[in-house]
A and B are shown apart, each in its own frame.
Chain A
């Protein structure tokens, strides 16, 4: 129990304290975006592990968070944190709207509904692009691009990486806080069976909606952070296929352990960068991911995180004896 709590603290300190200092060049941005996607992956992962619900719109929700954050950045003089928070809340609200079909559906049907939503956002993002300081509601100008403000604590790329890592740690803590309190217990019952949850007095509608809201919030946070890392966002980043890929990697990374989301984001962002460095076609990563997914489905149901945990003989929160 003691060293179980120690590992996450150690990882957080190492990441926030050391990582920004040792990486350089393009890797600063790659790790920043890895952190953003880790937040989104953590959201999708906890929904899958705690509620057994598959959301294939997580990257699309990142896009929503990014869109709102950018829009506010260019339309108002509000500080970065305020824009980020509103962006995350917007994604959270949209996540809760997604929960409406989830109240009646599970499994494949729910996954299909979320996939269609991701597809709809792909169409919208492609048609209207992301705000870059232009006029009108969509805020897109063709010949210029106004800068995206960064937080005061993260003006340089390196400082911004540290900033994102710190926000990432807060995001993971938010999930852990939920897991240990009434919502986490309600979700565990819902996963056991909805009848069991109802018989225990759980308001199933409320808690399912809450889960989607939290997951959307984390995705939106990731999207907003990504926007300020890059200065502007590209519709191609948020295609429906990216949501599907991220979810597949969430399974590969493993959802029952908190660091599964980190593994997922590293696979999603760092591995293609590495392949690129080695002169290998980054598309080959997809082949590798496909094989990894098969491996996960067939032999490693707890993903890479589960295998790492087995290596250190840690146990998942639910089989501690």
Chain B
């Protein structure tokens, strides 16, 4: 269970998150909302890049906010970013090792974890390709592999399908649904692609201007008039 409790973040006068509460129990859950709604900000708080003015984040009873950011990774937190973060100077394999390096695993165990994650995301065949030479889909897959490596407990994907074709998005969605087969991690997905969210997320939180406008089973949430209004607002913008 991922519990956000009363999470509040302010940037000067701007209230980016206004006392957000939600409890995600599904294996894969979504966070949606128009641009600037506070989705990434929520993940930044969970990652430890931002300290909230108030509130708590509890994952299966662990208070994440008390750990420094790099220790959260060792605990089992993984995330990808809106803009993929593959190191250009490293190969796909090295990009994976770059995360297992920091997990307090033995050398063999770390390599086995990295190997398994590459296999899972289907990037083992391009293991020696340099980050700089990867296309968008390969980058997104490598990012996903990094998130799956080393026994994660919570994986957060910030617009993982950004820049992908519908077919690639479909394949990525399949992979996200299969994360449960290779790890016990819960997954939190942000995306603007409502079809993807509808397909892979059992529960969804909808934010708008930092406020929670809906939360619950995805189908119900997407039917909510307030959600429709928020998205119509975007369409007209």
Chain A residues near B (Cβ < 8 Å): 50, 182, 185-186, 188-189, 191-193, 195-196, 198-204, 317-321
A-B contact pairs, 6 of them (CB 8 A): A189-B98, A199-B69, A200-B73, A203-B70, A203-B102, A321-B130
Complex interface bits, B182-202 against A, C-beta within 8 A gives 1, otherwise 0: 000000000000000000000
Q: How far is the CB of A190 from chain B (nearest CB, A)?
A: 9
Q: How far is the CB of A195 from chain B (nearest CB, A)?
A: 6
Pick from B78, B79, B89, B101: contact of A318, CB under 8 Å: B89
Query: In the complex, are the beta carbons of A185 and B49 less than 8 A apart?
Result: no
B85, B95, B146 pick with most chain A CB within 10 angstroms: B85
Query: In the complex, are the beta carbons of A318 and B98 less than 8 A apart?
Result: no
Q: Is B133 an interface residue (CB 8 A)?
A: yes
Bound: A200/B101 CA distance, A: 9
A185, A191, A202 pick with most chain B CB within 10 angstroms: A185
Chain B's closest residue to A315 (CB) is B130
Query: In the complex, are the beta carbons of B102 and A202 less than 8 A apart?
Result: yes
Bound: A196/B32 CA distance, A: 22
Query: In the complex, are the beta carbons of B81 and A189 less than 8 A apart?
Result: no
Query: In the complex, are the beta carbons of A185 and B47 less than 8 A apart?
Result: no
Query: In the complex, are the beta carbons of B87 and A192 less than 8 A apart?
Result: yes
Pick from B49, B72, B98, B128: contact of A188, CB under 8 Å: B98
Q: How far is the CB of A178 from chain B (nearest CB, A)?
A: 13
Pick from A186, A200, A321: contact of B146, CB under 8 Å: A200
- Chain A positions within 8 Å of B71 at CB level: 201
Bound: A200/B129 CA distance, A: 20
Interface of A is mostly: helix
Q: How far is the CB of A257 from chain B (nearest CB, A)?
A: 13
- Chain A positions within 8 Å of B90 at CB level: 185, 188, 318
Q: How far is the CB of A297 from chain B (nearest CB, A)?
A: 21
Q: Is B48 an interface residue (CB 8 A)?
A: yes
- 9 nearest A-B pairs in the assembled complex, by CB-CB distance: A201-B73, A201-B102, A318-B89, A196-B85, A185-B98, A188-B87, A182-B101, A198-B69, A200-B99
B49, B78, B130 pick with most chain A CB within 10 angstroms: B130
Chain A's closest residue to B72 (CB) is A201
Scan residues 17-50 of chain B and give those whose CB is less than 8 A from a CB of chain A.
47-49
- Chain B positions within 8 Å of A320 at CB level: 91, 128, 130
- Chain B positions within 8 Å of A200 at CB level: 73, 98-99, 102, 146
Bound: A191/B131 CA distance, A: 13
Chain A's closest residue to B86 (CB) is A192
Given contacts A192-B86, A195-B85, contact A319 B49 (CB under 8 A): no
Please give 19 more A-B residue pairs, beta carbons under 8 A apart, in addition to A189-B85, A198-B49, A199-B78. A185-B90, A192-B85, A196-B85, A198-B47, A198-B69, A200-B99, A200-B146, A201-B70, A201-B71, A201-B103, A202-B98, A204-B70, A318-B90, A318-B130, A318-B131, A319-B130, A319-B133, A320-B91, A320-B128
- Chain B positions within 8 Å of A318 at CB level: 88-90, 130-132
- Chain A positions within 8 Å of B72 at CB level: 201
Q: Is B5 an interface residue (CB 8 A)?
A: no
Given contacts A191-B87, A199-B85, contact A319 B132 (CB under 8 A): yes
- Chain A positions within 8 Å of B88 at CB level: 188, 192, 318
Q: How far is the CB of B45 from chain A (nearest CB, A)?
A: 13
Bound: A221/B129 CA distance, A: 36
Chain A's closest residue to B89 (CB) is A318
Chain B's closest residue to A203 (CB) is B70
Chain A's closest residue to B99 (CB) is A200
Query: In the complex, are the beta carbons of B70 and A202 less than 8 A apart?
Result: yes
- Chain A positions within 8 Å of B206 at CB level: none
- Chain B positions within 8 Å of A191 at CB level: 87, 89
Bound: A188/B128 CA distance, A: 16
Q: Is B138 an interface residue (CB 8 A)?
A: no
- Chain A positions within 8 Å of B128 at CB level: 320
Pick from B49, B79, B87: contact of A189, CB under 8 Å: B87
Q: Is B94 an interface residue (CB 8 A)?
A: yes
Query: In the complex, are the beta carbons of B81 and A199 less than 8 A apart?
Result: yes
Q: Is B212 an interface residue (CB 8 A)?
A: no
Q: Is B97 an interface residue (CB 8 A)?
A: yes
Chain A's closest residue to B147 (CB) is A199
Q: Is B127 an interface residue (CB 8 A)?
A: no
- Chain A positions within 8 Å of B98 at CB level: 185-186, 188-189, 200, 202
- Chain A positions within 8 Å of B131 at CB level: 318
Pick from B70, B130, B146: contact of A198, CB under 8 Å: B70
Query: In the complex, are the beta carbons of B73 and A195 less than 8 A apart?
Result: no
Bound: A92/B73 CA distance, A: 30
Chain B's closest residue to A201 (CB) is B73
A193, A196, A321 pick with most chain B CB within 10 angstroms: A196
Q: How far is the CB of A45 from chain B (nearest CB, A)?
A: 14
Q: Is B74 an interface residue (CB 8 A)?
A: yes
Chain B's closest residue to A188 (CB) is B87
Query: In the complex, are the beta carbons of B132 and A199 less than 8 A apart?
Result: no
Query: In the complex, are the beta carbons of A185 and B103 less than 8 A apart?
Result: no
Query: In the complex, are the beta carbons of B133 and A321 less than 8 A apart?
Result: yes
